[in-house]
Structure 1
Amino acid sequence: METINLVTEIQNDKSEFNDVIINFDANSFDANHDFLKNRLYFKNCTFENDVLIEYLNKKDFSIQFHNCVFDGELTISNCDLNRLQLSFLKSIKNITIEECNLENIIINSNNQPLTGNIKIENCVVNKSILCESLNILKGEFNIDLFNEKIENQKNFQILFQRSSFDILNFSHTVFGEYSNFQRMKVINSSNFYNCDFQKSYFDEVTFGTNSFFCFCKFHSTTSFKNCRNIEKTNIKILNCLFTSMPYFNNSSFNSLEIENTNFEKKVSFDLLEVNTIKLYQVTFLQGAFFDDININFIENCDRKSIRTIKQEIQKAENRIDFNRFKNYEMATYYKELNWKKNFVDKSILYMTKISTDFGNSWSKALGFTLLSALLFFSLFFINENYNNSFDIKNWTQFTSGYFRFFLVTDFYNPLETDRVYLTNPLSWLIFIFGKIVIAFGIYEMIQSFRKFKA
């Protein structure tokens, strides 16, 4: 490709450049000369060294780079423009847009993988930031705007759908009426700090390993539906405010942590799947839906979080999930108790755990009852017959006595056909404890069957 001097070409009244290598000498370029027309347009160009464009203040002016390669750094500084477009980027190093007032910014790579950094800082963007199909495989994309200066936020849009980022950071950004991140993919981390959202859509986003929403306000519909990365994604929502109804339906995360956050309207977590969840000082003013939520590692969750979910499910009169989370709460409480300091509560919950898994399994309760009865009756039988010689024919006496042992209100000797009381104190002790354990097992089994009853 031919190498040209950009300043010389512009002075010769040229504003479009195709298939050339640009030698850009910023020190000799007076950006506000009258010979500049309404745009600079670069197509299929390669910029070998750093590019600096600053103090270009023309409201109707556009700078467009299409299918270009930047071997050095590109800096747009202190400019007032209509449009800045970097489309179908092929290669970048560092792109910095700072202290500018722009109507529109368009950045994309047509899904071409890029390595490098893009930063939009201390700018006012009045109408749109369009970053669709932008793929930064390695590097950072940072946006720090002061969009509260915009007169009409309803006309402002941010679109990032179908883009991929290694690291994505938004801070001090006032999003307009509509922002769309649908089908975006984050490889490493994303951070939204001190941002204001109106209608915002994060549907089908693959969040990175760590994603943070800190000190953000969501003033309209917010959707996190069908976001799926159960293996890696850790979502943290800290010190945020949701004034309208958000949706987390049918999404899956490794962990979801919400702290010091207020939901002023209803919030939906229906069909959410997480490995762990933490809710700390979260206010649901109009309630929350947790229908069919699935927590894979409930043992790693704290009791306060489980209790919060249980209370919201109870408000929604969801009897099935309420019983499930009541049992989860007992399991987490059991884990917190200490045998030495909380022996009574710990022992009661331990019996519930080994008998029915905190009310989750009637079959386990049946097995517990049969085995416990067999153990105590065997001890009882041995104690009553230890002076007698062993006779295999006694198995009929053992079997009939074993089944009679299940009659918890029968206090007669189960080895006798007549109503005969026991005389051996040790036999009485084994007999009474066995009856108590059998009664406990039968009660827990009945409770397991009644788990869906009011």
Structure 2
Amino acid sequence: MNTIQEDEFYSLLYDIGKIEFRIINLSEINLRGLASIEFINCVFSKQVLIIDDDAIEGENENYKKITIKTCVFNGVHISKCNFSIFEVLDIKGINDFLINDCKIDTLRFLDCSNIDFGITFRQNVFNESFTFENNYFLIKGHLSFLNTNFNKLVIIKNNTFSILRFAFVKFKDFTAIIKNKFTNSLLENSFLLCEFEQIDFSQNDFRDMKYIDCKFLGSAKFKDVPYNKLSIISFDMCNFYKHVNFNKSSFYKLIFENGSFIETASFQDTYFDIISIDRTTFESKAFFDNIQIKKIDDCSRKTIRTIKQELQKAENKIDYNKFRVYEFNAYRNDIKNKLREYDDDKDHLNHRVREPIQLKRDAFVLWISDLVSEYGTDWKRALNFTFWSGLSIYSLFYLIENHNYTIEVSNWNNWSRFISGLFRFFLVTDFYNPLETDRVYLTNPLSWLIFIFGKIVIAFGIYEMIQSFRKFKA
């Protein structure tokens, strides 16, 4: 491979528009007067700046076609150029790649491997299509866009990224950022102050991805995202104006803060280890059918309540009941934390005097409701509680009422009296002595105390059992 001189370099470009298998030792290339340029299997030994004196603002702007294929660059900066077609194909090595302040109709960046450098697009306008596909980045490689407008189709597909970042970018037509892999678990990927018209983020193997102050003006899809234990996706101050679809996606952690969903949002058949929804509004319906949360105890009560409310609005009674239980459990954990904080706080004047008392009462009510029927959702547990607690209290009552008598276990009459009394004891409206055949009241104060307590326990158990049977009612 021979080194080409500057005069021969421009002579070939002007004559045939192509240079192949040459070492190019130029630090600046001016595309003035050229219409089509191809660099194939070339080595650029210096960092090269590519400019175009013909790129004049106005009606007479000149657009060129450039193809860079299977070349090696020490670094390339392209500035203030206009291209009808810009192609980068099968590049093996570039230390730095920057496109700045250019207008490009169609860009294709395809099949480049082992990219261990930064690719940066800054202050560019893409008028027709932008395709970035089948490229592989190493750990130091990153792709960045700053202050860029995409006026038409954008496809970023089947790439392996280390870092992907967008800032002040407008996507004015359909955008598909799909089926990409992210390998760097130490640094975050981000979209900062971006606007999307219609976007598809489906099937990306995310790591740490942040969307900050973004506007989703059209429909947005985040479907079929595969699970990865490093996938933490957060939306901070983001607004979704059209339908949003997260169906059948899995994330380790999904976070929504300070945002809004104007139209419907769908999270059907999704899986999360943790999900957080805080200061976020759903102005239309949100569908959380068959949502699964592995670490539900690590989710905030605000998040659980928000999902529960949306399930109720969608009349999904089955999942609603599950999240109703989750919310009660979350409230119990909050009570424990508040009481612990109260005990650790030496200045109790910071709290209302009755606050810890009320919290302890709530904790007791939640504990007994969970114990009896799991907050009115498990009729079997309520039935077992009613029978065994009633039997235990009645047995104590029976022993007290017969403390002056010898009870013979082998005597059937004793068993008959015990069993018939047990049935009467379970009749919560019967306040006569269940051990007597006549309608007489008890005379022993201790028996009365146990008797009344037993009636209350049985009535509570029956009430919880009825509530459990009614959990699917309106």
Q: 2:154 aligns with which of 148, 152, 158?
A: 158
Distance 1:425 1:121, change over 3 A: same
Alignment of 1:172-187 (within 5 A): 172-187=168-183
Alignment of 1:274-285 (within 5 A): 274-285=272-283
1:86 Cα offset (Å): 1.6
SS of residue paired to 1:158:
strand
SS of residue paired to 1:325:
helix
Correspondence for 2:350: none
1:264 and 2:262 matched? yes
Correspondence for 2:63: 60
Q: Aligned letter for 1:292? A: N
Alignment of 1:301-320 (within 5 A): 301-320=299-318
Alpha-carbon distance between aligned partners in 1 of 2:383 and 2:43, rounded to the nearest angstrom? 77
Q: Aligned letter for 2:449? A: L
1:201 Cα offset (Å): 0.9
Correspondence for 2:214: 216
CA deviations 1:334-375 (Å, max 9, x no partner) are: 322256341222211111111222233222222322332344
Return 388-397 or 335-344, whichever deviates more.
388-397
Correspondence for 1:39: 36
CA deviations 1:134-153 (Å, max 9, x no partner) are: 22242321111332xx8xx3
SS of residue paired to 1:63:
strand
1:371 and 2:388 matched? yes
Distance 1:380 1:44, change over 3 A: farther
Correspondence for 2:163: 167
Distance 1:378 1:159, change over 3 A: same
Kept in 2: contact 1:190–1:207 (CA 8 A): no
Alpha-carbon distance between aligned partners in 2 of 1:444 and 1:323, rounded to the nearest angstrom? 15
SS of residue paired to 2:465:
helix
Q: Aligned letter for 1:176? A: K
RMSD: 2.9
Alignment of 1:204-353 (within 5 A): 204-208=203-207, 210-229=208-227, 231-338=229-336, 340-341=356-357, 342-353=359-370
1:407 and 2:404 matched? no
1:51 and 2:47 matched? yes
Q: Aligned letter for 2:67? A: Q
Q: Aligned letter for 1:232? A: L
Distance 1:66 1:389, change over 3 A: farther
Alpha-carbon distance between aligned partners in 2 of 1:159 and 1:316, rounded to the nearest angstrom? 35
Kept in 1: contact 2:205–2:228 (CA 8 A): no
Correspondence for 2:448: 428
Distance 1:142 1:6, change over 3 A: farther
CA deviations 1:21-53 (Å, max 9, x no partner) are: x24330xx451465xx43332333444x44322
Q: Sequence identity, in percent?
A: 36
Q: Aligned letter for 1:168? A: L
Alpha-carbon distance between aligned partners in 1 of 2:173 and 2:450, rounded to the nearest angstrom? 74
- Using structure 2 for the length normalisation, give the TM-score: 0.82
Alpha-carbon distance between aligned partners in 2 of 1:212 and 1:368, rounded to the nearest angstrom? 49
The unaligned stretches of length 5 or more in structure 2 are: 55-61, 340-355
Distance 1:40 1:439, change over 3 A: same
- Using structure 1 for the length normalisation, give the TM-score: 0.86
SS of residue paired to 1:170:
strand
SS of residue paired to 1:265:
coil
Kept in 2: contact 1:164–1:186 (CA 8 A): yes
Correspondence for 1:108: 110
The unaligned stretches of length 5 or more in structure 1 are: none
SS of residue paired to 2:189:
strand
Return 271-280 or 382-391, whichever deviates more.
382-391
Kept in 2: contact 1:144–1:173 (CA 8 A): yes
Return 3-12 or 95-104, whichever deviates more.
3-12
Kept in 2: contact 1:57–1:80 (CA 8 A): no
Q: Aligned letter for 1:186? A: F
CA deviations 1:152-182 (Å, max 9, x no partner) are: x3xx221102222122111111112111112
Distance 1:349 1:30, change over 3 A: closer
Alpha-carbon distance between aligned partners in 2 of 1:440 and 1:201, rounded to the nearest angstrom? 53
1:401 Cα offset (Å): 4.9
Distance 1:413 1:181, change over 3 A: same
Alpha-carbon distance between aligned partners in 2 of 1:144 and 1:115, rounded to the nearest angstrom? 20
Alpha-carbon distance between aligned partners in 2 of 1:387 and 1:3, rounded to the nearest angstrom? 119
Correspondence for 2:189: 190
Kept in 2: contact 1:230–1:274 (CA 8 A): no
